[in-house]
Each structure stands twice: as C-alpha cells, then as structure tokens.
Amino acid sequence: MYRIALLLVPVLAVACGSGPQDHSGVFDGRAGDWVDLSHSFSPSTIYWPTDTTGFVLTEQAYGPTEGGWFYASYEFQSAEHGGTHLDAPIHFSEGRWTNEEIPLSSLMGPAAVLDVSSRADPDYLVTIADLTEWESLNGPLPEGGVLLLRTDWSARWNDRAAYLGTSAIGPDAVPELHFPGLDPEAAQWLVDNREMVAVGIDTPSIDYGQSVDFRSHVILYSANVIGFENVTQLSRLPAVGSFVVALPMKIEGGSGGPLRIVAFVPAP
C-alpha cells in the first residue's frame, strides 16, 4: 500500500489545498473533471454471446405505501462478465486473486491512455511497437499504473452487431466475433518489463474477437494484473496525467463483477 499512498499524494494535495477546511477541490470539480468510464446496465447491455440472459431488472415495489410514503425496490440478475466489468485474475488463472481478494492498490492508479483508434480495425492487435511508441512520446509507463487501451470501439455500443462483429447469440456466435484487443506478445512484454496493476479496454475483451486461446488474459491474470472490459469515454482522458479509480461489486469468490470505473483529470 506504500506505493499507492505515494501515488495518491498529488490528488489529495489538490483536494486538501493549503488549509484544513479547503478539501473539496477534487470532489466538486473545481480542481479538475471526473469522467465516468462506465456504461449503464440495462436490458440492452452487451454480454458475451454465450450469456443469453443479459441484465434483468425486476420491479418488486414502486409507488405509495399504506403508510403514506413512496417506496421503490428492484432485484437484478446479471452474469459477472457483461457490460463494464472487472476481470479478477482467477477468471483465467487458477490460484490467483478472486474478486474480493484484489487489493485496493490494484484498483486505482495513474492512467496511461494508449490511443490506437486511428488504426484500429475489427481484428486489430495492440502491439509492443504501440507501447514503445507511446513511451517515446510520453515517457515510461507509470509504475503501479492503469493502462487504458483506446480503440473508440465504445462508439459502437448501441449497435450490438457493430460492437461484437455479430448480432448472433449462443455458442455458434463466438467464431463470428470481431473487435480489437491486446496482442499476447504485448501482454507478455508488459508483465516482463513494466509494473502495471491493471489493463482496461473499450472493447468486450482484453483478447481480440478472433482469439481462440485467450492468451493475453492468461498472461496478465497469471501475474495478478487486473482487467477492465467494456470501458468508455477514453477520448476524454489525456495520454498522461489522469488518475483512475475502479471499484467493482465485491463478490466473495467471484471471477469478476459489474464495475463503476471513473477517472480524475486535473485542471490545466
């Protein structure tokens, strides 16, 4: 936790200001902007094609009660891996962290936003060359940081076929998937050479749609690097300088879960 404490110092310094009463600069927007990187959950939320149920919200109560007050209550049904969500390392690596075992230091950190949107096609793989080019422009990827891969695929979110590469549902749809992802060689390079705590992407999966072995998942999660999938609004973040906080539903023994991920972008 020492490392994350050091990383939080600049943010807390902005928030606290010079006096003990001046502590709202970060939280009220005066010191910068908070950007929600999450899609809302609804019946139209995109899940992996093999999950045929999706997100279900069922009304239990809505309206005035006999006591005279208004009351609303719902129940929801959802798989772990749909919409904007977290992948816990155990999702693809036996013996690694489950959802509730992930330390907070692996759910927040300085963001490095790698923009490949100008060249991303439905089968694009983010390469080692992309990573080293980013570093040549911005300096080394931050230790303890969160790498966010921007493809701008999230602009397709309201069109299931455009986002996934197919509108089909069920196991037969999986071979039809087409969307960008992270090259396994690049995933291995990150594990071997950098100290990132998490990797996020604005597509359905860390691996590209045509992957059959999910090697990038296996490589990252075997090293307890966390995954964030189906993120959005990465165009609102600079390449460097923002800070990410990603807090999932805390599911004991879970392999993932619904995620609310946000970024703080300090004012110039």
Instruction: Identify the pLDDT of residue 20.
Output: 52
Q: Among 50, 43, 42, 101, which residue's Cα sits nearest to residue 248?
A: 101
Both tokens assigned to 71: 């009351």
240 Cβ partners below 8 Å, 6+ apart?
110, 111, 112, 113, 138, 139, 142
Cα(210)–Cα(181) distance, rounded to whole angstroms? 9
Residue-wise pLDDT for 195-228, tens only, equals 999 999 999 999 999 999 999 999 999 999 999 9
Average confidence (pLDDT) per 10 residues, the chain, 268 residues: 43 46 72 97 97 96 97 97 98 98 98 98 98 98 98 98 97 97 98 98 98 98 98 98 98 98 96
In b/e form, how buried is each residue of 190-221, taking b as 16+ CB within 10 angstroms?
A: bbeebebbbbbbbbbbbbbbbbeebbbbbbbb
DSSP assignment letter at 67: T
Supply the pTM of this predicted model.
Answer: 0.91
Predicted pLDDT of residue 27? 83
Q: Show the domains of the chain with their CATH numbers.
A: 2-52+80-266 (3.50.30.50)
Provide the pLDDT for residue 29.
80
**pLDDT attached to residue 11:** 52
